[in-house]
Amino acid sequence: MEPPFPGMDPYLEHSSLWPDVHHRIISAACDYLQARIAPGYIAQITPYVALEQIEIAAPRRALVPDIGVYEREPAAIAAASVDAPTLTGVALAEIPTRYARIEIRSVVDETLVTAIELLSPVNKRPGPDGADAYEKKRQELFMSGVHLLEIDLLRGGKRPNLARPDPLPNAPYFIFLSRAERWPAIDIWTCPLQQPLPTVPVPLRRPDPDAPLPLTRLVHQVYRNARYDLRIDYRQPPPPPDLSPEDAAWLDAHLHAKGLRP
């Protein structure tokens, strides 16, 4: 099935899908760039591990409860009525999750030239082990004279820190580009749900020209190859956070027109 959205699919943000989506987009982007920046540069995938809260369909191993209930021989037992639960929830499991970033290095001296981050939930989670740690890494890259391209395809969580504009415009997705020679200026692309994702420049060393990175092409390629259509029920609402009323109305009409909602 063809991707149903013109750009980013908000259903790909689901916690059970995103680690795989992240891995595939990073791999596709790295391969795409390598073919266009050789022979002067190499694009390499640098993995890292983060603790993520992910919804799982079933327990992966036996758990030991705090209280054991043991069966004895039948005896006279007084029947007691119990109240039904108000609703049923699903627990989040915090598990180590592998993510990766792309590093573009010069072939001559292997110096890091450009870092590309596809933001993960842990990068956007408030706290010292989440957004604070990511911000520290950002500042290290800024101070080292490295170009930084940040691709934020997650509606939830904390956006990268900016002095201006504050607040950012209302949009579900953003791209941020910091060129070393122009820092602290940061180029920003807003990415509405109703439009394709932009093709963004990946800066290299002067005087080499930027390499283009077509995000819609890569996201749609990943969607097709992974057959995410087999794992997504478009009759259900997308994962949190809630869309704006305008985006929610557009999404419902769009999916209905695509035959994915009754």
DSSP state of 180: G
pLDDT of residue 70: 39
Is there a contact between 50 and 122 (Cβ–Cβ < 8 Å)? yes
d(CA 202, CA 171): 22
Residue 249: φ, ψ to 5°: -65, -40
Region of poorest pLDDT, from 27-41, 82-96, 138-152: 82-96
d(CA 21, CA 16): 10
Q: What's the 3-state SS for 227-252? A: CHHHCCCCCCCCCCCCCCHHHHHHHH
**Is the preceding omega at residue 19 within 30 degrees of 0, hence cis?**
no
**Is the preceding omega at residue 214 within 30 degrees of 0, hence cis?**
no
Average pLDDT, the chain: 89
DSSP 200-211: EEE--STTSPPE
Cβ neighbours around 54 below 10 Å, total: 17
What percent of the chain has a predicted confidence (pLDDT) above 90?
72
Top-ranked range on mean pLDDT: pick from 65-69, 128-132, 162-166, 194-198: 194-198
Region of poorest pLDDT, from 56-70, 148-162, 168-182, 226-240: 56-70
- Which residues have C-beta within 8 Å of that of residue 217, sequence separation ≥ 6? 199
Strand partners, 176: 150, 188
Residue range 203-219: mean pLDDT, rounded? 98
Q: Classify 157 as helix, strand or coil.
A: coil
* Cα–chain center distance at 156: 10
Q: From 110, 99, 186, select the one nearest 142 (Cα to Cα).
A: 186
pLDDT of residue 87: 82
Q: pLDDT of 124-179, one tens digit each?
A: 989 888 889 899 999 999 999 999 999 999 999 999 999 888 889 999 999 999 99
d(CA 47, CA 102): 9
Quote the crossing angle between the two packed helices 18-37 and 215-226, to the nearest 10°.
130
Beta strands in 24-146 (DSSP E): 41-55, 92-106, 112-118
* Cα–chain center distance at 118: 6
pLDDT of residue 238: 98
Domain residue ranges of the chain, discontinuous segments joined by +:
10-55+92-257
Whether residue 77 is predicted with pLDDT greater than 70 in this model: the reply is no
Whether residue 228 is predicted with pLDDT greater than 90 in this model: the reply is yes
Is there a contact between 157 and 124 (Cβ–Cβ < 8 Å)? yes
Where are the alpha helices (H) located in the chain, listed in sequence order? Answer: 18-37, 121-124, 131-143, 215-226, 245-257
Whether residue 259 is predicted with pLDDT greater than 70 in this model: the reply is yes
